[in-house]
Amino acid sequence: MKAQLTQMFSMQDKLNAAINPQWITDDSQDWFCAVLVEGSEMIDHYGWKWWKHQTPDIAQVQLELVDIWHFLMSAEIKSHVGVSTEKAIELSVAKWNNELEQAAEKQPFLALAKQLVGQSAGGDMPYRSFCLLMTSVDFSFADLYKWYIGKNVLNYFRQDHGYKDGSYIKVWQGREDNEYLADALNALPCDEQLSDKVYQFLKAAYPQ
């Protein structure tokens, strides 16, 4: 876990810096507001409307958890400015181990999702709610790691193909880019070449 968290924290820092070189000191970026918005999208994918039939889209729920983890990590990195990276990673490992150990039994998804969104609105680090949510949709830390690597690559791919200036094409042949990412991650092993292989997979599928 320590090695995987170290890699994810490093990748997130590099991605944030690629988008905004001053991100670590830029207080205009509200990471908890981003968690709140992604949490709302996650709840939509799960289904909450009592007046109509809805079937939970668990794959999309899991992907939203990955997006939320991007923003939670960013907030965590900012909260440890002035602290050594090694110490910050050790603290995160301790939190993960503690919360995952207590998240063995499934709990109702919507109550946990609302708790996560509420805590984020208050600017808190919702490790417990996040881990409980992962358990509720059968999403392990190993799953989070693999899908984080994939989504990080997709985020770079988007930036490389005009996401910031609005020229990026998000729907390819009737399917969103996230669906192509899922195809890649379901087909590829989680090894040292995963990042490169995912990027090449997306590049081959992207409309020219």
**Is residue 69 located within the same domain as residue 83?**
yes
- pLDDT of res. 166: 92
pLDDT tens figures, 21-65: 999 999 899 999 999 999 999 999 999 999 999 999 998 899 999
**Is residue 202 located within the same domain as residue 134?**
no
Examine the fold and report which residue of 113, 139, 165 is the final residue of a domain before the chain moves on: 139
Examine the fold and report which residue of 139, 164, 181 is the final residue of a domain before the chain moves on: 139
Domain span holding position 113:
1-139
**Is residue 72 located within the same domain as residue 96?**
yes
pLDDT tens figures, 152-203: 999 999 999 999 899 999 999 999 999 999 999 999 999 989 999 999 999 9
Long-range CB pairs of 85-93, under 8 A, 24+ apart, other chains included: 85/6, 85/9, 88/9, 89/2, 89/5, 89/6, 89/9, 90/2, 92/5, 92/9, 93/1, 93/2, 93/5
**Is residue 61 located within the same domain as residue 108?**
yes
d(CA 73, CA 106): 24
Q: Which residues pair with 8 in a beta bridge?
A: none
pLDDT tens figures, 107-155: 889 999 999 988 888 777 888 899 999 999 999 999 999 999 999 999 9
- pLDDT of res. 85: 77
Long-range CB pairs of 201-205, under 8 A, 24+ apart, other chains included: 202/153, 202/154, 202/157, 202/177, 203/157, 205/172, 205/180
d(CA 23, CA 66): 20
Total of domains in the chain = 2
Give the phi and the psi of residue 75 in degrees, each rounded to 5. -65, -40
Give the phi and the psi of residue 149 in degrees, each rounded to 5. -55, -45
Examine the fold and report which residue of 139, 154, 188 is the final residue of a domain before the chain moves on: 139
- pLDDT of res. 90: 87
